Amino acid sequence: MQSVVFPNKILPYALVAPQIVLTVVFFFWPASQALYQSMMREDPFGLQSSFVGLANFSNILADENYLHALRVTVVFSLATALLSMGIALLLATAADTVVRGKGFYRTMMIIPYAVAPAVAGMLWLFMFNPAMGTFAYILRRNGIPWDPLLNGDQAMSLVVVAAAWKQISYNFLFFVAGLQAIPKSLLEAAAIDGARGARRFWTIVFPLLAPTTFFLLVINTVYAFFDTFGIIHSVTGGGPAKATETLVYKVYNDGFVNLNLGSSAAQSVVLMVIVIALTAFQFRFVERRVHYG
């Protein structure tokens, strides 16, 4: 780090003040509130709370429902990340071979990213709602007993598809950039070396995309963990029978619906630890490791 000396003593502080204020008001204050709350227990009427130390934490870690939510989150996140990245990669490789209307094609691909999560959720809900969804109707007519309101696996696939769909644009952009960054001469060398089609993709292109892929894996996992509340809330509401209740959704459900503030706060503290760990992991590995000289 380089130490810089400013001639004016006050101006630098004034310039960083807005950012500091924002961070304090929207991060440090609520985070400290969560930490404080996570060690308190409310009485049933919300009139007073008492200090219980780490009891909330030991409770949630021993709670079968919490562990279930953790499993659901892992399955949901991995499925979402892999599905959206897989499709995005497929589209990006296809976009690479498009000759005409490249700009138009790419612009169209990016639009879903501008759709709000709740709206994206509603979109998929309308299409696949067992009562009125067009696709639900088609599925049932073709002999598939489609009912995400009762079948947990179907509900899960529906939220995964909705969540993945929204993220495809973002992944697509990065994969397109990643593909363009591969030197053309490497592909030519591979062509002369007799590698074509799928073989060339898996032995040359895919390994060279590894930095992009790894970066996106972390980003998508974080997205699926923390940014999918709107989709789950609008599509399944965590149901049926908690089959799509992720950790974030459980925080909301326990805290704001069931008003178990202590437990909810403890859960959000655990989530905070996970975010910090993922971010540290990303900085450590994405920034340094997976790069080719």
Partner 1 sequence: MATIELKDVRKVYGGNIDAIKGVSLDIADGEMIVLVGPSGCGKSTLLRMVAGLEGISGGDVVINGKRVNDLEPAERDIAMVFQNYALYPHMTVKQNLAYGLKNRGTPKDEIERRITEAARALEIEAFLARKPRQLSGGQRQRVAMGRAIVRKPAAFLFDEPLSNLDAKLRVQMRVEIRRLQQSLATTSIYVTHDQMEAMTLADRLVVLNAGCIEQVGTPIELYEKPATTFVATFIGSPSMNLMTLGDGIGWTGPDGAGLPPDATIIGIRPEDIVIADGSLIGGFCTRVQVIAVELVGAESYVHGAAENGSIIVCRVPGRSIIGIGETLDLAAMPDRFHLFDRDGKRV
By CB under 8 A, residue 191 contacts partner 1? yes
Nearer to partner 1, 126 or 206 (CB): 206
Using the rule CB under 8 A, which residue among 199, 256, 276, 285 binds partner 1? 199
- CA–CA distances in Å: residue 234 to residues 176, 241, 247: 31, 16, 16
Joined together, the tokens standing for residue 60 give: 């949630």
Query: DSSP characters for 177-217?
Result: HHHHTS-HHHHHHHHHTT--HHHHIIIIIHHHTHHHHHHHH
Among 64, 41, 42, residue whose Cα is nearest residue 54? 41
By CB under 8 A, residue 197 contacts partner 1? no
Using the rule CB under 8 A, which residue among 71, 196, 284, 289 binds partner 1? 196
Nearer to partner 1, 106 or 200 (CB): 200
By CB under 8 A, residue 189 contacts partner 1? yes
Using the rule CB under 8 A, which residue among 123, 208, 266, 269 binds partner 1? 208
By CB under 8 A, residue 287 contacts partner 1? no
By CB under 8 A, residue 186 contacts partner 1? yes
Q: Which of residues 131-150 bind partner 1 (CB under 8 A)?
A: none
Nearer to partner 1, 142 or 185 (CB): 185
Write down the least CB distance from residue 204 to partner 1, Å. Answer: 6
Query: DSSP characters for 32-75?
Result: HHHHHHTTEEE-TTSS-EEE-TTHHHHHHHH-HHHHHHHHHHHH
Residues in the chain: 293
By CB under 8 A, residue 194 contacts partner 1? yes
* Neighbouring residues of 71: CB distance < 8 A, sequence distance ≥ 6: none
d(CA 60, CA 254) in angstroms, rounded, equals 11
By CB under 8 A, residue 1 contacts partner 1? no
Write down the least CB distance from residue 181 to partner 1, Å. Answer: 12
Joined together, the tokens standing for residue 177 give: 């950039």
Q: Please give the size of the binding site for partner 1, defined by CB under 8 A.
A: 20
Nearer to partner 1, 134 or 203 (CB): 203
By CB under 8 A, residue 181 contacts partner 1? no
By CB under 8 A, residue 100 contacts partner 1? no
Contacts by residues 129-138 (CB-CB < 8 Å, ≥ 24 positions apart)? none
By CB under 8 A, residue 292 contacts partner 1? yes
- In the chain, helix, strand, coil percent, each to 5? 75, 0, 25
Nearer to partner 1, 190 or 272 (CB): 190
Using the rule CB under 8 A, which residue among 33, 58, 203, 258 binds partner 1? 203
Residue 156's region, left for phi above 0, alpha for psi from -120 to 50, else beta, is: alpha
Give the binding range for partner 1 (CB under 8 A) out of 58-66, 116-124, 196-204, 271-279. Answer: 196-204
- Say if CB 17 and CB 252 are below 8 A apart: no
Residue 78: exposed, middle, or buried by beta-carbon count in 10 A (0-12, 13-18, 19+)?
Answer: middle
Give the binding range for partner 1 (CB under 8 A) out of 78-86, 125-133, 173-181, 188-196. Answer: 188-196
List of residues contacting partner 1 (CB under 8 A): 183, 185-186, 188-196, 199, 203-204, 207-208, 210, 292-293
